[in-house]
Homo-oligomer: A and B are copies of this chain.
Amino acid sequence: MPHVNTLLQCIPCFARQALDAVVEAVADPVRREVLLRRLLRDIADGDWSGTPPAMAQRLQRSIREALGDPDPYRAVKDRMNEMALNLVPTMRARIAAHPDPREAAVRVAIGGNLLDVGAKTQIAAEDLPAHLETIWTQPLRGDVEGLFREADRAHSILYLADNAGEIVFDKLLIEQLPAGKITLFVRGRPVLNDATVADAETAGLPELVPVLGNGSDAPGTILDDCSDEFRDWFARADLVIAKGQGNYETLSEVDKNLYFLFTVKCPLVSARVGEPVGSLVAKPGRRLA
C-alpha cells in the first residue's frame, strides 16, 4: 500500500466536494449547474490511481480555472483565521492550566484540524466552540510523549501545516516544541481552505519560526509535486510533524521520521489507521511504527 490510494468509495465524496466548492464560490444558479457538470466530467474522466489529495488538487484547479479566481476560498480562510484567533486566549489559558501542557497543546493543534472545508465534517462558526470542547475529553490515540522525545532529539524539524484557522492553533503547539529547530511549511499556492504563507502571517508564525511554501497546490504533501527546495528540507529534517488527513494520505508510507497529527475524517482513513472517525490521532509514521 503506497500511500492511501483513492478508492471507488472516494468518488461520491469528490462529487460532494465539487458541490461544496460550487455552492461556496458561485452565486448564480445557472453557473453553479454548468460548473458542477464540468467538475463531474473531470471526476469521471480523471486519474483515479493517485491519492485522494491528488484528485482534489486537480478538481480544485479546475474550479479555480472555471471561476477565473486564483483563491476562491480566501473569504472562508479569513473567517476561519478570525474564529481561531478569537479563541486563542481561551486555548492558551486551557493549555497553561492543564496538568500536561504539552499534551494539551497537541490536543488543541489536532482540534484545529476540525476547520476543514474539504472533509465532510465542516463545522459552522457558531458550533466551533462546542466542538472544540470535545478535544479535552476524547481519547488521544498515538504517542504524545514519543513526539516530544523525538522533537527534543532532533536538530531540524519540519512542521507541515494543513488549513487556515487550524494554523493559528498550530502556533500554540509550536510554542511548546523546542525553539530554534522548527521550519514551518504551508502549501505553495491556494487550494481549498489550506493555509498558505498569508495565513501563517495572520497567525503570527513568522515571529516564531521560518515560514516557507512547499511549491505545490495539492491539499496534502505530494513530494514529486513540491519544489526542489522543499524536498531538500524534507530530506535533511530529522523529524517531520505533518498535520491533517491530507498530509497523512500522501506521506503515510514515506520512509521518514514522521509524526501525523490529525482528526480522522472518513471511514477509509479510519480503517487504515485503526481508529474510529472523529478520533484525535498523534501517530508516528511507518519508520517508527
Contacts and interface: CB of A to CB of B under 8 A. Distances in A.
A8 B37 contact: no
Given A41-B41, A44-B44, A36 B19 contact: no
B37 A44 contact: yes
A208 interface: no
A33 interface: yes
A11 B23 contact: no
Contacts of A44: 37-38, 40-41, 44
Interface in A38-58: 38, 40-41, 43-45, 48
Contacts of A37: 44-45
Interface residues of A, number: 22
A49 to B, nearest CB: 10
A22 interface: yes
A276 interface: no
Nearest to A10: B19
A25 to B, nearest CB: 13
A126 B257 CA distance: 44
Contacts of A19: 8-9, 11-12
A36 B8 contact: yes
A61 interface: no
Contacts of A11: 15, 19, 36, 40
A32 interface: yes
Contacts of A18: 12
Contacts of A43: 40
Given A15-B40, A40-B40, 8 more contacts: A9-B19, A11-B36, A11-B40, A12-B16, A40-B41, A40-B43, A41-B41, A41-B45
List 4 tightest A-B contacts by C-beta distance, closest first.
Answer: A40-B44, A15-B15, A12-B16, A12-B15
Interface of A: 8-9, 11-13, 15-16, 18-19, 22-23, 32-33, 36-38, 40-41, 43-45, 48
